[in-house]
Amino acid sequence: MEPISDLNIPEKILEIAERIREAGGRAFLVGGFVRDALLGNTESRDFDIEAYDLDQETLLQILKSFGRTDIVGKAFGVFHLSMKGLSLDFSFPRTESKIGYGHRGFLVKTNPKLSFKEAAYRRDFTINAMGMELPDLALCDPYGGVQDLKNQVLRHVGPAFSEDSLRILRGVQFASRFKFILAEETIALCRTLSLSDLSIERLFEEFKKWLLKPGKPSFGLKAFLEIELQKFFPEILPLNGSFDLLGKMLDNMFDVRENIFCSTEATASLSLTEEEKMELAFSVLLFGQVLIKKEQQSFQNIQAMKNQVLQFLGKMTNEIHLLKKVPEILSVCCELDFKTVPSAPQMRRYAVRLGGLSLLVMLIYSLPSELLKSSEYQVKFFQEAKNLNLLEKAPKPFLTGKMLLELGVTPGKEMGILIQESFDLQLDGLISSSEEAISFAKKRISTSI
């Protein structure tokens, strides 16, 4: 063990650890905080504490003297402490034995008499199996996590890794977040495991962490391919036969999304909600579906592409915005040649289909140069969308049902036809105001009498 200095650990945590020590116990900061601190992130607030060598009642009484204490899981020995400006989880070391199917099929036993090495053996990767003893900040690293951090390698701790197949996807998202590679023995073990016992919610959370958390998503894709996860997700395809191009597009997407790309005008103009970030990320991940369908454009092929996208998304989410938006974004991409910017009428129609063109612009900025047939395409597409005021919103019909009621049109099929005809002319740029739309409607009404 060796002490680590210059850590931003609240004084209250050190006071609690001292009280635990006075009661004959030991306290360790574990998991993400230790890993992040060794990676140079001293601002982490991921404080998880394991208590050794004392019983639950003693720990509970110590914690109650510091703030409101709740028993989160008595069977698992987990207590939550809430103090002013601080929220902490305390747990006891435990063992886990696989006794059934799925992530709930574990027999969990707390055992405060375990050594730190024994308790850490159940963790996934060596970089997450380190602890920092409090209050003296001594590092405990029984499985070589420090060396793996230095080598930028994700290595599983032991055979227990295979008892929770979610850890396969944790390897993917950790590879992306930390720009690490998987150890050969970890790759080999992961290839023997199945994801079939995982709920869609758990799958979705790991994919989101891979695609949305800061990092380099191409590292996650590399891990994904090395583990051979495409056998579970065959809908993820290479771009023009190259997964390297897909990795480049995923990395470009991150830069675009975080406004780290070269067009300062676009950087200043575009921003996405969290839902839109998800829609963009999954559209990029599945972009290979577009390229494979572009050779023979037809309704049947585009519909087949949409079905493949929905098949993939259905494996991990029922979020309506993703199920609606991602297939539509990709179907629009099937119609683009990445060389000539569409006409203004077509741009307006794309905006109607997508609710605005921000997402489409960002996807186009994510394209690797190898897929662009014109070096100016991205900038020109953005400029046209901006000039037409289509980035944040779609055109809405100037002609409304209320206007037609005032003209004496009764609700029904005729009203819908008039609104659609007027809107088509509006999208073509032939009607540019409500007054012109009303004038059009009056002429149509008079000719139909």
pTM of the model: 0.89
Provide the CB-side half-sphere exposure for 172 (13 A, CA): 27
Helix, strand, coil content of the chain in percent (nearest 5): 55, 10, 35
**One digit per residue, pLDDT tens: the chain, 449 residues?**
455 666 788 899 999 999 999 999 999 999 889 999 999 887 777 789 999 999 989 999 999 999 999 887 655 678 999 988 888 999 998 766 554 454 554 456 778 889 999 999 999 999 999 999 999 999 999 999 999 999 999 999 999 999 889 999 999 999 999 999 999 999 999 999 999 989 999 999 999 999 999 999 999 999 999 999 999 999 999 999 999 999 999 999 999 988 765 454 554 567 889 999 999 999 999 999 999 887 665 556 888 899 999 999 999 999 999 999 999 999 999 999 999 999 999 999 999 999 999 999 999 999 999 999 888 999 999 999 999 999 999 999 999 999 999 999 889 899 999 999 999 999 999 999 999 999 999 998 888 65
Query: Are 284 and 268 spatial neighbours (Cβ–Cβ below 8 Å)?
Result: no
Q: Which residues contact 10 (CB under 8 A, 6 or more apart)?
A: 47, 86
Q: Strand 138-140 and strand 153-154: pairing?
A: unpaired
Helix axes 413-427, 344-354, angle to 10 degrees: 130
Could you give the maximum distance between any two Cα atoms of the chain, in Å? 96
Distance CA 166, CA 171 (A): 9
Q: Are 174 and 206 in contact (CB under 8 A)?
A: no
Tokens of 216: 């380099």
**CATH number at 2-143:** 3.30.460.10
Token duo for residue 229 = 């996860």
Q: Which residues, 6 or more positions from 224, have their beta carbon under 8 angstroms from its beta carbon?
A: 172, 230, 236
**What is the rounded CA–CA span in Å between residue 169 and residue 103?**
14
Joined together, the tokens standing for residue 345 give 């009428």
Please state, in angstroms and as integers, the Cα–Cα distance from residue 43 to each residue in 18, 38, 40, following that order: 23, 12, 9
- pLDDT, position 434: 95
Of 144, 141, 161, the closest CA to residue 153 belongs to: 144
Enter the tokens of residue 255: 């830069």
Nearest residue to 284 (alpha-carbon basis) of 317, 319, 247, 316: 247
Residue 138 Cα distances to 27, 73, 131, angstroms = 11, 28, 8
> Contacts from 258-265 at CB under 8 Å and sequence distance 24+?
258/214, 261/365, 263/365, 263/378, 263/379, 263/382, 265/382
pLDDT score for 3:
54
Place of tokens 């049947």: 300
3 state DSSP class of 94: strand
Q: Locate CATH 3.30.460.10 in the chain.
A: 2-143
Q: Which two tokens stand for residue 336?
A: 């683009």
Q: CA–CA separation, 216 vs 64, rounded Å?
A: 42
Beta bridge partners of 153: 181
What integer pLDDT is reported at residue 302 of this predicted model?
A: 86
Residue-wise burial string across 296-310, b where 16 or more C-beta atoms lie within 10 A, e elsewhere = eeeeeebeebbebbb
Write the single-letter amino acid at 403.
Answer: M
**Can you tell me whether residue 206 is helix, strand or coil?**
helix
Q: Which two tokens stand for residue 416?
A: 């819908």
CA distances from 89 to 37, 127, 215, 442 (A): 18, 20, 27, 69
CB 228 within 8 A of CB 192: no
Both structure tokens of 396: 């809405």
DSSP 8-state secondary structure symbol assigned to residue 337:
-
Q: What is the pLDDT of residue 296?
A: 60
For residues 91 and 83, the answer to whether their CB atoms sit within 8 Å is no
In the chain, ranges of CATH 1.10.110 domains: 165-233
- Whether 183 and 144 have beta carbons less than 8 Å apart is answered as no
Contacts of 48 (CB under 8 A, 6+ apart): 29, 30, 31, 32, 33, 89, 91
CATH 3.40.50 corresponds to the domain 165-233? no
H helix runs in 388-427, sequence order: 401-406, 413-427
Our measurement of the distance from residue 370's CA atom to the centroid of its chain's CA atoms, rounded to an integer in Å, reads: 26
